[in-house]
Amino acid sequence: MTTTITVCDTCNFSADLKLLDGKSGGEMLAEAIEALAGDLTVKRVSCLMGCERHCNVAIQAPGKLSYVLGKFAPDTDSATAIIDYARAHRASETGQVPYKQWPQGVKGHFVARLPAV
């Protein structure tokens, strides 16, 4: 079963800066994730309603727990951590990933966990 990473492509670049060189942080993070995602599904949306934080993403799969994460730097390190977490989510029957398997780069970025529908 696939796991989808949904990236808000209109999020601010950082807590203090909306755009960098005319580009949103969300657009930069989406590009970084799309470049590295391989066989994971990546979608873009414009606003996940977490706008008080910058660079928000959602990790989802049918019948599994969903997660919203934010406050990422829009760079390759963040993209790699998000993708590694999404792969662990895909491998998990419920979507729950044991803490010891969390990539360092997602720690401190969790915003919400939603139960499976």
* Main-chain dihedrals φ then ψ at residue 14, nearest 5 degrees: -155, -175
Cα–Cα distance, 107 to 10 (Å, whole number): 23
| DSSP state, residue 45 | E
Determine if 50 is a binding residue for ligand FES (CB under 6 A).
yes
43 versus 94: smaller Cβ distance to ligand FES: 43
Q: Widest CA span of the chain, in angstroms?
A: 41
Q: Which range touches ligand FES (CB under 6 A), out of 46-54, 58-66, 78-86, 89-97?
A: 46-54
> For the chain, how big is the Rg over CA atoms in Å?
13
Among positions 11, 57, 82, 97, the unique one binding ligand FES when judged by CB under 6 A = 11
26 versus 74: smaller Cβ distance to ligand FES: 26
Task: Return the amino acid letter for 68.
Answer: V
By CB under 6 A, name the binding residues for ligand FES: 8, 10-11, 26, 47-51, 56
